[in-house]
Amino acid sequence: MNQEVNNNLANTEIKSGNKKKKILATIIGILAVIAISVYALKIIEEQKEEAAQKYIISISQKLLDGTAIKTNSADKKDYGKLVPLVSIANEDVDKIVSLNKSAEKELNGNMFKNNMNTNELIGSTSAIEKSRKEIGSINNSLAKYETGINENKTNIDKKLAEYKGINTEAEKNLISDYNNLRKKNYDKDMKELNTVKALVASMDKYLAFLQSREGQYVISGGMINFYNQNDVDECNKLVGNITELSKQLKNK
Protein backbone atom coordinates (compact mmCIF):
# COMPACT_ATOMS: atom_id res chain seq x y z
CA MET A 1 0.00 0.00 0.00
CA ASN A 2 2.81 2.39 0.95
CA GLN A 3 4.65 1.48 -2.23
CA GLU A 4 1.58 2.34 -4.33
CA VAL A 5 1.19 5.73 -2.59
CA ASN A 6 4.86 6.50 -3.17
CA ASN A 7 4.53 5.66 -6.87
CA ASN A 8 1.50 7.92 -7.19
CA LEU A 9 3.39 10.76 -5.49
CA ALA A 10 6.33 10.27 -7.84
CA ASN A 11 4.04 10.36 -10.88
CA THR A 12 2.39 13.51 -9.53
CA GLU A 13 5.79 15.19 -9.11
CA ILE A 14 6.82 14.23 -12.66
CA LYS A 15 3.58 15.60 -14.09
CA SER A 16 3.98 18.78 -12.02
CA GLY A 17 7.56 19.15 -13.19
CA ASN A 18 6.55 18.70 -16.82
CA LYS A 19 3.83 21.31 -16.40
CA LYS A 20 6.31 23.81 -14.94
CA LYS A 21 8.69 23.16 -17.82
CA LYS A 22 5.90 23.77 -20.34
CA ILE A 23 4.90 27.02 -18.61
CA LEU A 24 8.54 28.14 -18.48
CA ALA A 25 9.01 27.28 -22.14
CA THR A 26 5.88 29.26 -23.01
CA ILE A 27 7.10 32.28 -21.03
CA ILE A 28 10.52 32.10 -22.71
CA GLY A 29 8.79 31.89 -26.08
CA ILE A 30 6.65 34.92 -25.33
CA LEU A 31 9.70 36.90 -24.14
CA ALA A 32 11.56 35.94 -27.30
CA VAL A 33 8.67 37.17 -29.45
CA ILE A 34 8.55 40.43 -27.48
CA ALA A 35 12.31 40.86 -27.83
CA ILE A 36 12.12 40.28 -31.58
CA SER A 37 9.21 42.70 -31.86
CA VAL A 38 11.05 45.39 -29.88
CA TYR A 39 14.14 44.86 -32.03
CA ALA A 40 12.04 45.11 -35.19
CA LEU A 41 10.40 48.31 -33.94
CA LYS A 42 13.81 49.74 -33.13
CA ILE A 43 15.04 48.98 -36.64
CA ILE A 44 11.92 50.59 -38.15
CA GLU A 45 12.38 53.74 -36.03
CA GLU A 46 16.04 53.96 -37.01
CA GLN A 47 15.05 53.68 -40.67
CA LYS A 48 12.51 56.50 -40.22
CA GLU A 49 15.12 58.67 -38.48
CA GLU A 50 17.53 58.02 -41.35
CA ALA A 51 14.81 58.96 -43.85
CA ALA A 52 14.17 62.21 -41.96
CA GLN A 53 17.89 63.00 -41.95
CA LYS A 54 18.24 62.42 -45.70
CA TYR A 55 15.12 64.45 -46.42
CA ILE A 56 16.06 67.51 -44.33
CA ILE A 57 19.59 67.63 -45.72
CA SER A 58 18.27 67.12 -49.27
CA ILE A 59 15.79 70.01 -49.28
CA SER A 60 18.30 72.30 -47.55
CA GLN A 61 21.00 71.47 -50.09
CA LYS A 62 18.60 71.99 -53.00
CA LEU A 63 17.74 75.41 -51.60
CA LEU A 64 21.45 76.23 -51.47
CA ASP A 65 22.01 74.96 -55.02
CA GLY A 66 19.00 76.81 -56.39
CA THR A 67 17.35 73.65 -57.73
CA ALA A 68 13.62 72.91 -57.69
CA ILE A 69 12.22 71.87 -54.32
CA LYS A 70 9.01 70.11 -53.37
CA THR A 71 8.56 69.55 -49.65
CA ASN A 72 6.83 66.42 -48.36
CA SER A 73 4.20 66.33 -45.65
CA ALA A 74 5.66 65.62 -42.20
CA ASP A 75 4.10 62.20 -41.64
CA LYS A 76 4.96 60.02 -38.64
CA LYS A 77 4.76 56.87 -40.74
CA ASP A 78 7.62 58.24 -42.85
CA TYR A 79 9.75 60.14 -40.33
CA GLY A 80 8.81 58.68 -36.95
CA LYS A 81 9.81 60.67 -33.89
CA LEU A 82 11.59 63.29 -36.01
CA VAL A 83 8.33 64.58 -37.51
CA PRO A 84 8.51 67.84 -35.46
CA LEU A 85 11.99 68.53 -36.83
CA VAL A 86 10.87 67.76 -40.39
CA SER A 87 7.98 70.21 -39.89
CA ILE A 88 10.40 72.95 -38.87
CA ALA A 89 12.62 72.30 -41.90
CA ASN A 90 9.58 72.32 -44.20
CA GLU A 91 8.38 75.63 -42.80
CA ASP A 92 11.86 77.10 -43.22
CA VAL A 93 12.34 75.99 -46.83
CA ASP A 94 8.76 76.76 -47.92
CA LYS A 95 9.02 80.31 -46.55
CA ILE A 96 12.34 81.03 -48.28
CA VAL A 97 11.04 79.62 -51.58
CA SER A 98 7.92 81.80 -51.26
CA LEU A 99 10.01 84.91 -50.51
CA ASN A 100 12.28 84.22 -53.48
CA LYS A 101 9.34 83.78 -55.85
CA SER A 102 7.68 86.98 -54.64
CA ALA A 103 10.90 88.97 -55.01
CA GLU A 104 11.54 87.60 -58.50
CA LYS A 105 7.98 88.43 -59.56
CA GLU A 106 8.30 92.01 -58.33
CA LEU A 107 11.72 92.53 -59.90
CA ASN A 108 11.00 90.83 -63.22
CA GLY A 109 10.05 93.25 -65.96
CA ASN A 110 11.76 96.19 -64.29
CA MET A 111 14.14 98.56 -66.04
CA PHE A 112 17.09 96.14 -65.83
CA LYS A 113 15.52 94.06 -68.59
CA ASN A 114 15.97 96.98 -70.95
CA ASN A 115 18.98 98.64 -72.49
CA MET A 116 20.23 101.49 -70.30
CA ASN A 117 20.30 103.84 -73.28
CA THR A 118 16.73 103.44 -74.50
CA ASN A 119 14.39 106.41 -74.81
CA GLU A 120 12.00 104.65 -72.45
CA LEU A 121 14.57 104.95 -69.66
CA ILE A 122 16.52 108.11 -70.35
CA GLY A 123 15.05 109.68 -73.48
CA SER A 124 13.71 112.70 -71.62
CA THR A 125 13.66 114.38 -68.23
CA SER A 126 10.29 112.82 -67.46
CA ALA A 127 11.56 109.37 -68.55
CA ILE A 128 14.52 109.64 -66.17
CA GLU A 129 12.28 110.76 -63.34
CA LYS A 130 9.99 107.80 -63.98
CA SER A 131 12.97 105.43 -63.99
CA ARG A 132 14.19 106.79 -60.67
CA LYS A 133 10.73 106.26 -59.19
CA GLU A 134 10.89 102.67 -60.38
CA ILE A 135 14.17 102.35 -58.55
CA GLY A 136 12.43 103.54 -55.40
CA SER A 137 9.86 100.78 -55.89
CA ILE A 138 12.62 98.23 -56.40
CA ASN A 139 14.30 99.36 -53.17
CA ASN A 140 11.01 98.83 -51.35
CA SER A 141 10.77 95.30 -52.72
CA LEU A 142 14.35 94.55 -51.66
CA ALA A 143 13.69 95.89 -48.17
CA LYS A 144 10.57 93.72 -47.93
CA TYR A 145 12.57 90.67 -49.03
CA GLU A 146 15.36 91.35 -46.54
CA THR A 147 12.85 91.74 -43.72
CA GLY A 148 11.19 88.45 -44.70
CA ILE A 149 14.49 86.56 -44.78
CA ASN A 150 15.55 87.90 -41.39
CA GLU A 151 12.15 87.25 -39.80
CA ASN A 152 12.20 83.68 -41.07
CA LYS A 153 15.71 83.15 -39.68
CA THR A 154 14.64 84.47 -36.28
CA ASN A 155 11.51 82.30 -36.30
CA ILE A 156 13.37 79.08 -37.18
CA ASP A 157 16.18 79.86 -34.71
CA LYS A 158 13.55 80.17 -31.97
CA LYS A 159 11.77 76.96 -32.94
CA LEU A 160 15.02 74.98 -33.03
CA ALA A 161 16.02 76.38 -29.64
CA GLU A 162 12.67 75.26 -28.18
CA TYR A 163 12.68 71.91 -29.99
CA LYS A 164 12.58 68.89 -27.67
CA GLY A 165 13.82 65.93 -29.65
CA ILE A 166 14.85 62.35 -28.96
CA ASN A 167 18.34 63.46 -27.88
CA THR A 168 20.33 60.89 -29.85
CA GLU A 169 23.74 61.51 -31.38
CA ALA A 170 22.26 61.05 -34.84
CA GLU A 171 19.66 63.74 -34.16
CA LYS A 172 22.26 66.12 -32.72
CA ASN A 173 24.44 65.65 -35.81
CA LEU A 174 21.42 66.21 -38.06
CA ILE A 175 20.53 69.50 -36.34
CA SER A 176 24.16 70.60 -36.58
CA ASP A 177 24.33 69.78 -40.31
CA TYR A 178 20.96 71.45 -40.90
CA ASN A 179 22.09 74.63 -39.14
CA ASN A 180 25.29 74.69 -41.17
CA LEU A 181 23.27 74.54 -44.40
CA ARG A 182 20.88 77.20 -43.07
CA LYS A 183 23.82 79.51 -42.41
CA LYS A 184 25.21 78.94 -45.91
CA ASN A 185 21.79 79.67 -47.41
CA TYR A 186 21.36 82.82 -45.34
CA ASP A 187 24.86 84.09 -46.17
CA LYS A 188 24.27 83.40 -49.87
CA ASP A 189 20.94 85.22 -49.84
CA MET A 190 22.42 88.24 -48.04
CA LYS A 191 25.39 88.39 -50.40
CA GLU A 192 23.13 88.32 -53.48
CA LEU A 193 20.80 90.86 -51.90
CA ASN A 194 23.67 93.24 -51.18
CA THR A 195 24.88 92.88 -54.77
CA VAL A 196 21.40 93.72 -56.09
CA LYS A 197 21.19 96.70 -53.74
CA ALA A 198 24.57 97.90 -54.96
CA LEU A 199 23.41 97.47 -58.57
CA VAL A 200 20.24 99.46 -57.92
CA ALA A 201 22.25 102.22 -56.21
CA SER A 202 24.65 102.33 -59.18
CA MET A 203 21.74 102.58 -61.60
CA ASP A 204 20.25 105.44 -59.63
CA LYS A 205 23.61 107.20 -59.59
CA TYR A 206 23.80 106.80 -63.37
CA LEU A 207 20.33 108.29 -63.82
CA ALA A 208 21.09 111.13 -61.41
CA PHE A 209 24.20 111.94 -63.45
CA LEU A 210 22.17 112.09 -66.65
CA GLN A 211 19.64 114.36 -64.95
CA SER A 212 22.44 116.69 -63.95
CA ARG A 213 23.69 116.81 -67.58
CA GLU A 214 20.38 117.60 -69.20
CA GLY A 215 20.99 119.31 -72.54
CA GLN A 216 24.63 118.20 -72.59
CA TYR A 217 24.07 115.02 -74.61
CA VAL A 218 21.94 113.44 -77.31
CA ILE A 219 20.86 109.82 -77.80
CA SER A 220 21.36 108.40 -81.28
CA GLY A 221 21.30 104.77 -82.39
CA GLY A 222 21.14 103.56 -78.79
CA MET A 223 24.26 105.54 -77.90
CA ILE A 224 24.65 108.55 -75.60
CA ASN A 225 26.77 111.26 -77.24
CA PHE A 226 28.09 113.93 -74.86
CA TYR A 227 29.50 117.27 -75.89
CA ASN A 228 32.14 117.11 -73.17
CA GLN A 229 34.87 114.45 -72.81
CA ASN A 230 34.75 114.58 -69.02
CA ASP A 231 31.08 113.67 -69.16
CA VAL A 232 31.92 110.78 -71.48
CA ASP A 233 34.52 109.47 -69.03
CA GLU A 234 32.19 109.79 -66.04
CA CYS A 235 29.31 108.12 -67.84
CA ASN A 236 31.52 105.22 -68.96
CA LYS A 237 32.69 104.77 -65.37
CA LEU A 238 29.12 104.61 -64.08
CA VAL A 239 28.03 102.21 -66.80
CA GLY A 240 31.12 100.08 -66.09
CA ASN A 241 30.08 99.74 -62.44
CA ILE A 242 26.59 98.65 -63.46
CA THR A 243 27.95 96.14 -65.96
CA GLU A 244 30.33 94.62 -63.39
CA LEU A 245 27.62 94.21 -60.76
CA SER A 246 25.30 92.69 -63.37
CA LYS A 247 28.00 90.11 -64.21
CA GLN A 248 28.35 89.23 -60.54
CA LEU A 249 24.65 88.45 -60.33
CA LYS A 250 24.65 86.39 -63.51
CA ASN A 251 27.59 84.29 -62.26
CA LYS A 252 25.86 83.34 -58.98
CATH level 2 (architecture), domain 39-250: Up-down Bundle (1.20)
Which of 39, 46, 77 is CA-nearest to residue 171?
46
Q: What share of the chain is helix, strand, coil (3-state, %, to 5)?
A: 80, 5, 15
Give, to the nearest 10 degrees, the angle between helix 83-107 and helix 2-65.
10
Per-residue pLDDT band for 127 (boundaries 50, 70, 90) equals confident
Q: Is the pLDDT of residue 10 over 80?
A: no
| Average pLDDT value for the chain | 82
Mean per-residue pLDDT, 134-149: 93
How far from the centroid of its chain's Cα atoms is residue 58's Cα?
Answer: 10
- Which of 32-41, 82-91, 102-111, 139-148 bottoms out in mean pLDDT, i.e. has the lowest? 32-41
For the whole model, what pTM was predicted?
0.77
d(CA 3, CA 214) in angstroms, rounded, equals 135
Per-residue pLDDT band for 105 (boundaries 50, 70, 90) equals confident
Residues 193-226: tens digit of each pLDDT: 999 999 999 999 999 999 999 899 988 877 889 9
Residues 163-180: tens digit of each pLDDT: 998 888 889 999 999 999
Instruction: Give me the percent of the chain exceeding a pLDDT of 70.
Output: 78
